[in-house]
Amino acid sequence: MNTLADFYQNLGLALSLLVIATFILAGLVKGIIGLGLPTVAMGLLGLAMAPSQAAALLIIPATLTNLWQLAFGGHLKGLIKRLWPMLLMIFLGTGVGTLWIGMAGGHWVVQGLGAALLLYALSGLFLPTLHIKPRHEPWLGPVCGVITGAITSATGVFVIPAVPYMQALNLSRDELVQALGLSFTVSTLALAGGLFWRDALGGGELSASLLALIPAVLGMLLGQWLRQRISAILFKRVFFVGLGALGAHLLISG
């Protein structure tokens, strides 16, 4: 697929509108709670297209919005020093997993995506906040990293178990938001490399992904505006309930 027009012509009008609406919603969620763009995008797009195609659309919006999130906070040097073992294993696990497992679009991949979404939603709704002691970080961080990488390579979802792990590190709010941006950036770049190696990320896909950046940024800006005006706790609950329902649907129907 060589051109942007070819890509969206093959998708058709209905799917093109779905892409636009999906990235507005995904950007909105990320703007309010600091994460969720790849999760929402892969979940909704996974209903109508192959996971590899959905992941290709995700590359540029996810990378640039994560870099945007990563750039602010003032804790980058300390976070890299603390989290680099996990980040390294996320990169290696995602890259190797994408080359080895790939995203062939089979039923088990769709069901895996549903299971990851459902698990994340249930953990957000019902599990208490865990606290990890510093002495466990040297081994637990890499373990969480390689598991996150494997799940990312199969589903395009970056959050399990990296997000719960980072939430358990007793980071400040600004540190956590910046750490999420750092982790997601590493995952996205590794996923892009694997997709490119498998010839699933050509010029047409990158152009289409660049166009998807526009609704994603608009949604993120709107989400940041809304975050100052609504309860983030209430929105998180609604978000996790919707995410769980979507995950259950994919798990059952995949």
pLDDT in tens, 18-38: 889 999 999 998 888 777 787
Interatomic CA distance for residues 231 and 25, integer angstroms: 18
Residue whose C-alpha is closest to residue 10's, from 49, 42, 37: 49
pLDDT at 203: 64
Give the type of residue at 163: V
pLDDT at 35: 77
243 band by pLDDT with thresholds 50, 70 and 90: confident
pLDDT at 57: 84
Interatomic CA distance for residues 177 and 39, integer angstroms: 16
pLDDT in tens, 130-163: 789 999 999 999 999 999 998 888 777 777 888 8
Whether the pTM exceeds 0.75: the reply is: no
pLDDT at 68: 84
Decide if pLDDT at 1 tops 70.
Answer: no
Which pair of structure tokens corresponds to residue 82?
């603390």
Decide if pLDDT at 166 tops 80.
Answer: yes
Place of tokens 């750039």: 71
Q: Name which residue leads in pLDDT, 206 or 17.
A: 17
Decide if pLDDT at 199 tops 80.
Answer: no
Residue whose C-alpha is closest to residue 185's, from 23, 85, 38: 38
12 band by pLDDT with thresholds 50, 70 and 90: low
Chain-wide mean pLDDT for the chain? 81
